[in-house]
Amino acid sequence: QALRQTEGLIISIIQLLDLDLKTPDHITLSRRLGKIKVSKKSYESEEPKVIVFDSTGLKVMGEREWMNYKHGTRQRKVWRKLHIAIEDGEIVAHTLTIDTISDTAEVSPLMEQIEAPISEALGDGGYDHTATYAAIDKHNENKTSKSAVITIPPNIGFQKIRNSDHKERLRNQETIEEHGRAGWEQITNYGRCSQVEGTFSRWKRILGGTIKAKNDKNQIGEMKIGVFILNETLKKNPRKARIAA
């Protein structure tokens, strides 16, 4: 339905402009969606970046929702997981996976999309894993002599503190033990993580909380377009974009 609406919108615009152009039908748009290439801002600057990680769930719209509505059945809903890394509200890296993939497993793919070194990385306790620390260290190995500050609260309920843990994990735990969790958040300015919640809020207000495409390639293409739209709205009017969040 969304592609049919897009087809109709393009036809209307071409007619208003009195142009002699053909409009691709919704089937062609669907086929090309999986191959779409969206221009991306280059992050080749040597200036280190402060990155915030997080993820959110997006429901896949399809026949199961229609059957639930039409026949009152209880078909299981299908979800996808959008993983992002942001810098000052702008999405600098993103991946789309099935809902069973963990957050820590996608840190490395996210880092591969960022050219600049990382000065600091922030995330919630779900990112407290050796894979996260290893991916960030590996990213900075050939880019800078300085290691990144990693501001992630140790999830000691899941994994206890050991002397062999990453130095950043030990540092965070020592600060929490000395000043308490609230004190640690104030010292590290952990409130910056709320930026990513604002980004997800803008996504769902502007683009909705669902994915319209049916197959994997088209879903990835749809996410690329969504990221481009969000970054452009932030670039054109950053104050209004943040208020909308």
**pLDDT one-digit tens code per residue, 47-56:** 889 999 999 9
Tell whether the model's pLDDT for residue 44 goes beyond 80: no
Instruction: Name which of 80, 28, 68 is nearest 223 in CA terms.
Output: 80
234: Cβ contacts below 8 Å, ≥ 6 apart: 89, 90, 202, 241, 242
pLDDT tens digits for range 192-226: 999 999 999 999 898 888 888 878 888 888 888 88
Q: Please report which confidence band the pLDDT of residue 238 belongs to, taking 50, 70 and 90 as the band edges.
A: low
Q: What pTM did the predictor assign?
A: 0.81
**Residue 62 vs residue 227, higher pLDDT:** 227
List, as one string, the DSSP characters of 17-75: TT---PPPPHHHHHHHHTT----------SS-EEEEEEEEEEEEPSHHHHHHHHH---P
49, 118 contact by CB (below 8 A): yes
Query: Measured between alpha carbons, how far is residue 116 from residues 37, 44, 120 in Å?
Result: 22, 6, 12
Measured CA to CA, the distance from residue 34 to residue 215 in angstroms comes to 9
pLDDT tens digits for range 93-144: 999 999 999 999 999 999 999 989 999 999 999 999 999 999 999 999 878 7
Q: Which residue has the tokens 């000395």?
A: 178
How would you classify the pairing of strands 210-211 and 49-60? parallel
Measured CA to CA, the distance from residue 138 to residue 89 in angstroms comes to 24
Measured CA to CA, the distance from residue 86 to residue 91 in angstroms comes to 4
126: Cβ contacts below 8 Å, ≥ 6 apart: 102, 103, 104, 155
**Residue 209 vs residue 6, higher pLDDT:** 209
116, 143 contact by CB (below 8 A): yes
Measured CA to CA, the distance from residue 148 to residue 16 in angstroms comes to 54
Tokens at residue 236, please? 């054109």
Q: Please report which confidence band the pLDDT of residue 43 belongs to, taking 50, 70 and 90 as the band edges.
A: very low
DSSP state of 142: T
**Average pLDDT score over residue span 144-161:** 85
List, as one string, the DSSP characters of 173-229: HHHHHHHHHHHHHHHHTGGGGHHHHHHHHHHHHHT-SEE---SHHHHHHHHHHHHHH
DSSP state of 104: G
Q: What is the pLDDT of residue 179?
A: 95
